């Protein structure tokens, strides 16, 4: 019974803390998502170019 009371209290406390959180608005979420996607695309292009370059160097050496 004590376990059930502890678990119940945990979820009450978690709900109380989540109620105090200031959540981002739709505009901020979309803006940060676009920034992350653009950054990932740029980094993937950069890593691909470096990989091709290093692969060519290793191919020449072997």
pLDDT of residue 36: 98
pLDDT of residue 3: 87
pLDDT single digits (tens) 7-61: 999 999 999 999 999 999 999 999 999 999 999 999 999 999 999 999 999 999 9
Whole-angstrom CA distances from 15 to 11, 12, 44 are 6, 5, 39
Cα gap 59→56, rounded to integer Å: 5
Q: How many residues does the chain have?
A: 62
Domain ranges of the chain: 23-62
Q: Kindly state the tokens that stand for 8.
A: 């119940």
pLDDT of residue 62: 87
Cα gap 61→34, rounded to integer Å: 41
Largest CA distance in the chain: 71
Cα gap 57→60, rounded to integer Å: 5
pLDDT of residue 29: 96
Q: Is the predicted pLDDT of residue 1 greater than 80, yes or no?
A: no
């Amino acid at each position: 019974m004590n376990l059930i009371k502890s678990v119940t209290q945990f979820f009450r406390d978690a709900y109380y803390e989540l109620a105090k959180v200031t959540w981002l608005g739709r505009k901020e979420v979309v803006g940060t998502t676009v920034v992350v996607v653009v950054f990932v695309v740029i980094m993937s292009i950069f890593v691909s170019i470096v990989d091709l370059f290093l692969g060519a160097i290793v191919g020449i050496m072997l």
